[in-house]
Structure 1
Amino acid sequence: MNMANQAPAPATATKTSVPAQSSSSNTNVTKRLQTELMNLMMSPTPGISAFPNDADLLNWTATIEGPTETPYAGLTFKLAFSFPAEYPLTAPQVTFKTPIFHPNIDFSGRICLDILKEKWSAIYNVQSVLLSLQSLLGEPNNASPLNGQAAELWDKDPAEYKRLVLARHRDLAEEDGAGMDGM
């Protein structure tokens, strides 16, 4: 009787251990992102924000304000964060949704920033990524440009650089054209 009761137990334990591991991984990502969201809400940092899209905790929309005393001062940029199932061990995919003219950002919004690639570490979070991107706006890495024209103009012609920044920037809230009436 004991043997009959004991035999099914290992089979049941084996069946439930595999789903528990993948479920545990998803739970860890969810817990981490919930903690990050709570930290952003409870201790907001001026000039940056981020929130999940609807009920999808793995896809967020973020905003950063252009730093003062840079060509981006007074401008706001929307970004998209897509978190992999391996987050925070793997970096999120981050792209600019607002059109931007910058040496380290291409016209599709892809970003060349080491902490989003080979220098990623699980100690980084949404807030630190946003602060790094905000800093990158004022201090581009011209040694590794995605936009060669922007890299060249940054150093050689600041006035033309700023003109192109303003020409490229579009407030995504102006999609209906309301902000373009006076042009």
Structure 2
Amino acid sequence: MLGAMIRLFKVKEKQRELAENANGGVPFKKHTAGELRLHKDISELNLPSSCTMTFPNGKDNLMNFEVSIRPDEGYYLGGTFLFSFQVSPIYPHEAPKVKCKTKVYHPNIDLEGNVCLNILREDWKPVLNINTIIYGLYHLFTEPNWEDPLNHDAAAVLRDNPKMFESNVRRALSGGYVGQTFFQRCI
């Protein structure tokens, strides 16, 4: 009985879609649960003034967007860092994939842009949202963590010689070499 009802609903839905398309209406597009949740998250965003969100592929593609973070305190004061977000259709049951598009000298972000943030890995829970991730990323710039590094060299310098770390960050932000690695100006 239930199977027959479900088939009936699918037939009715297909008839409605065909009718809309035949009448010159906009084709009906179903949204995944991930898209619906992401739309809710975006509508409820409460970003710090130092963060902005953009949709390079237009508002029709909410599942891929960018966030720009400009820390207003700490070692990275004045720098601008761009992150790309790719959100899975099964979001929030899977954390978004986040990459830093700005090459940065940072203990928790490697030179390929991979980000070490616990809520993007083992501590992800469906109750978390995009706002939480953005605040987590912002926090990486105000308080970099040498205890959970992706860039082990930067972590060791931060741990052993914070003054040298600060000097290396300033050099990288201004556009220059830290060791053998060149960083584009982002300040």
Short-chain TM bin: 0.7 to 0.9
Structure 2 residue corresponding to 1:82, chosen from 80, 86, 105: 86
Q: Write the distance in 1 (CA, Å) between the matches of 2:36 and 2:6.
A: 27
Q: Specify whether residues 34 and 90 from structure 1 end up closer, same or farther in structure 2 by C-alpha distance, changes over 3 A only.
A: same
Q: Write the distance in 2 (CA, Å) between the matches of 1:165 and 1:93.
A: 25
Task: Specify every segment of 5 or more residues in structure 1 that has no aligned partner in the other structure, as ranges.
Answer: 1-5, 172-178
**TM-score, reference length from structure 2:** 0.72
Task: Specify every segment of 5 or more residues in structure 2 that has no aligned partner in the other structure, as ranges.
Answer: 15-28, 176-183
The residue number in structure 2 matching 1:50 is 53
Native 8 Å contact 2:101 2:113 kept in 1: yes
Q: For 1:25-104, what aligned pairs fall within 5 Å after superposition?
A: 26-40=31-45, 43-53=46-56, 54=58, 55-68=60-73, 70-104=74-108
Structure 2 residue corresponding to 1:13, chosen from 3, 7, 31: 7
Higher helix share: 1
Instruction: State the identity as a percent.
Output: 28
Root-mean-square deviation (Å) = 3.1
Q: Write the distance in 2 (CA, Å) between the matches of 1:122 and 1:29.
A: 11
Once the two structures are TM-superposed, the CA of residue 86 in structure 1 deviates from its matched residue by 0.9
1:110 and 2:114 matched: yes
Q: Write the distance in 2 (CA, Å) between the matches of 1:93 and 1:143.
A: 22
**TM-score, reference length from structure 1:** 0.74
Once the two structures are TM-superposed, the CA of residue 126 in structure 1 deviates from its matched residue by 1.4
Aligned residue-pair number: 159
Q: Specify whether residues 95 and 103 from structure 1 end up closer, same or farther in structure 2 by C-alpha distance, changes over 3 A only.
A: same
